[in-house]
Amino acid sequence: MAERYDVIVIGAGPAGYIAAVRAAQLGFKVGCVEEWINPKGELTLGGTCLNVGCIPSKALLATSEEYEKAHHHLGDHGITLSNLKIDIAKMQSRKDEIVTKMTKGIEFLFRKNKITWLKGRGSFAGKIDGGGFRISVAGKDKDGKPVVDTHETTNVIVATGSKARHLPNVPVDNVLINDNEGALAFAQVPKKLGVIGAGVIGLELGSVWRRLGAEVTILEALPGFLAACDEAVSKEAARQFTKQGLAIHLGVKIGEIKTGKSGVSVAYTDNKGDAQTLEVDKLIVSIGRVPNTEGLALENVGLAANERGFIDVDDHCATNVPGIWAIGDVVRGPMLAHKGEDEGVMVAELIAGQKPHIDYNCIPWVIYTSPEIAWVGKTEAQLKAEGRAYKAGQVPFAINGRALGINASAGFVKVLADAATDELLGVHIVAANASDLIAEAAVALEFKASSEDITRVSHPHPSLSEVVREAALAADKRALNM
Ligand code: FAD
Ligand code: NAI
């Protein structure tokens, strides 16, 4: 007889595994379908984020940042190093060990919470008369022979995530032409590296390989740089990245891409309309991601992906079929791990009859470049477009003693608040540790704080967080330290 679950989650990335854990905490019988096979040929949990996304990229960013510091910045402290070397194989094995630790950690969480890992590829087999759904899982038996099991469930949470978007007719071999998977696994530093797309992946992975010695050229279709960021932040970031040696060409149109024996040639038209060719040893294509809905047989339960490939959901991640929910990268909203996690918790609690809610305006964004970029809430351009009267305070890290001490005085915090009510509307940070500093702003925004509230809270001295408070004071024209 088919096993009956209260909740089956399809996909064990950050959205899916967190949904499974929260549902299990709430007392449900939970199964989670996952098919990911890692380079060692093992089935693994954790999805894009743990295997080929957030976690490995941050490991490489950390190694390359240490290397760059040792190479260029320790001299400022009077520290001299000679014979500095980077062992790329060691860097990669460190990254792989972190990934293994994290993915094994999810296996532990599954055991702890009595979640059944349904190993294989999940799809909808149909609805059950009287309520619920049948889910097929195509996997392998213990002898490695293909086998399909069918399970029954009252609720389904689709958390199948996304995959890299590729350029039409430009096959990714992850040797010469790479998406995120190849770009995280180079065995050597390419002499010349081309990147198509100056988005989050292009800037993060472009930075990794530049710091390790590659000559990096980024080709971006849009005329503006980091258009989603506040303009002051994108300007500062462009200045810093160019100074570091990233060559960023905006407003280009990519033409033919040819691979040779050991390199790639990219024809493009630059922003003046002139034909150009970029010759590189390796190319990264980072032009966004597409949702994974192929093969889910959504039609068997009366669902369909929309014209952009996403599953349509309401504000609470409910699809138009009661009992089926969808979360994470496979639905609208930012493709961010913590956004998917928040949706996973929300849906599990909704199934349990609770009344959770997500304010998507309070979800922080981070780009892990150096300096880091982080923001939450509205940009100045968005407030102008809304016709909202606002006040702004911007304070540089150069005035902060801690920033000077740790050699991280680049960048600033900008606070935007309502001109009349002082309600905090947006916080934008370009600085070292912006990823941690932004958490305070996210809490403040979620609690509908005023900018004055931030100024009334004691901040440790000396710390980078003092600049957040100073920027809130500056929004009220009463900065104390400048
Ligand atoms: P995924 O993580 O994609 O997981 C989906 C899972 O579903 C996969 O394991 C897949 O195998 C499984 N699956 C799909 N279809 C089926 C099926 N039919 N049957 C069984 N299993 C199935 N976000 C951040 O917030 N911070 C970062 O620093 C960050 N860095 C990133 C760096 C890179 C290089 C990349 C590529 C992404 C990064 N992201 C980051 C984005 C983040 O990885 C995604 O937003 C997040 O992984 C989405 O989570 P998810 O659970 O929706 O999907
Ligand atoms: P992205 O959407 O951030 O950037 C893609 C860039 O490619 C855009 O600037 C776009 O204009 C450009 N582009 C698109 N087509 C192009 C073309 N034909 N020629 C030249 N440029 C083109 O996507 P990216 O960098 O691939 O990352 C995917 C997603 O993964 C991100 O949107 C983000 O949600 C997530 N991510 C998050 C990270 C974080 O939170 N720190 C880190 C890495 C990824």
What is the atom index within ligand 1 of the atom nearest the CA of 15?
Answer: 51
Residue range 415-439: mean pLDDT, rounded? 98
Ligand nearest the Cα of residue 48 is 1
Q: Is the CB of 328 under 6 A from ligand 1?
A: yes
**In 10 A of CB 163, how many CB atoms?**
17
Residue range 330-336: mean pLDDT, rounded? 98
Pair 398, 481: CB distance under 8 Å = no
| Per-residue confidence (pLDDT) for residue 376, from 0 to 100 | 98
Pair type for strands 247-249 and 215-219:
parallel
What is the atom index within ligand 1 of the atom nearest the CA of 329?
Answer: 52
| Per-residue confidence (pLDDT) for residue 177, from 0 to 100 | 98
Identify the band that residue 262 occupies on the pLDDT scale cut at 50, 70 and 90: confident
Residue range 48-52: mean pLDDT, rounded? 98
pLDDT digits (tens, 9 = 90+) for 397-412: 999 999 999 999 999 9
| Per-residue confidence (pLDDT) for residue 438, from 0 to 100 | 98
What is the atom index within ligand 2 of the atom nearest the CA of 54?
Answer: 42
pLDDT(184) > 90: yes
| Per-residue confidence (pLDDT) for residue 86, from 0 to 100 | 97
418 Cα to the center of ligand 2, angstroms: 31
Residue range 310-331: mean pLDDT, rounded? 98
d(CA 465, CA 429): 11
Q: pTM of the prediction?
A: 0.98
d(CA 148, CA 476): 64
pLDDT(206) > 90: yes
| Per-residue confidence (pLDDT) for residue 412, from 0 to 100 | 98
Residue range 214-224: mean pLDDT, rounded? 98
What rounded mean pLDDT belongs to the chain?
Answer: 97
Which of 135, 140, 160, 369, when mutated, tests ligand 1's pocket best, judged by the most ligand atoms within 8 Å of its CB?
160
Residue range 355-373: mean pLDDT, rounded? 98
d(CA 305, CA 285): 25
pLDDT digits (tens, 9 = 90+) for 82-138: 999 999 999 999 999 999 999 999 999 999 999 999 999 999 999 999 999 999 999
> Peptide bond preceding 371: is omega within 30 degrees of 0, i.e. cis?
yes
Residue range 346-351: mean pLDDT, rounded? 99
Identify the band that residue 187 occupies on the pLDDT scale cut at 50, 70 and 90: very high
Q: Which residues, at least 6 apart from 347, have a Cβ–Cβ distance to it below 8 Å? A: 19, 157, 316, 317, 325, 327
Identify the band that residue 3 occupies on the pLDDT scale cut at 50, 70 and 90: confident
Pick from 335, 322, 327: which is nearest to 356 by CA? 327
Rounded to a whole number of angstroms, the distance between the first and last alpha carbons of the chain is 72
* Domains located in the chain, CATH noted: 3-163+290-358 (3.50.50.60), 166-287 (3.50.50.60), 362-475 (3.30.390.30)
Annotation says 73 is catalytic: no
**Which protein residues touch ligand 2 with a CB less than 6 Å away?**
196-202, 204, 219-222, 254, 286-289, 334-336, 366-368
Residue range 284-290: mean pLDDT, rounded? 98
How much of the chain, in percent, has pLDDT values that exceed 90?
99
pLDDT(1) > 70: no
Pair 473, 409: CB distance under 8 Å = no
pLDDT(385) > 80: yes
